[in-house]
Amino acid sequence: MHRIEVVEGKCIGAGNCVDVAEDYFDQGDDALVIVLKEQVPEGDVAEVERAVKACPVAALRLLGA
């Protein structure tokens, strides 16, 4: 299992992560990122990795291998 971590204070509300992986990320009314599911099973790692990479300010990390 991999785990999603948010780096506090960096999110600028781009929504790029939500655009790529709607099952894992959402945004609150303040547009800041909300992680819907922290744990990422092997099958979804590629998708979540793309979402993490799509963030323009590296506010997201995918931990553990």
Partner 1 sequence: MTERAADSTPGPVVVIGAGKAGFETAIALRASGWNDRIVLVGDEDALPYERPPLSKDFLAGKMERDDVLIDGAVRLPQLEIEFHRATSVERLDLESKEVVLSTGESIRYSHVVLATGARPRRLTVPGADLEGVVHLRTLADAEVLKTTAETTESLVVIGGGYVGLEVAAHAASLGVRVRVLEGMSRLLNRSALPETSEHALRHHRAVGIEVNLDVRISELVSDHDGRVRGVLTEDGTLFEAETVLCAIGIEPCAELAERAGLAVANGIQVDESLRTSAPHVWAIGDCASFPVPYLRQHARLESVQNAVEQARFVASAIVSGQPGVYRAVPWVASKQGALTVQAAGLTGNHDSRVVYGDPDSGGFSTLAFDGETLVGIDAINSPRHFLAARRVLTQELNGTPSGLTLERARSSDFRLEDFGRRRDPEVVSG
By CB under 6 A, name the binding residues for ligand SF4: 11-17, 27, 33, 54-55, 57, 59-60
In sequence order, which residues have a C-beta less than 8 Å from that of residue 57 and are 6 or more positions away?
Answer: 10, 11, 12, 14
Residues 2-31 that bind partner 1 (CB under 8 A): 7-10, 12-15, 18-19, 27-31
Q: Does 38 bind partner 1 (CB under 8 A)?
A: no
CB-based contact 20:30 (threshold 8 Å): no
Tokens standing for 47? 């998708």
Report what 30 binds from partner 1, ligand SF4, none; CB cut-off 5-8 Å by kind: partner 1
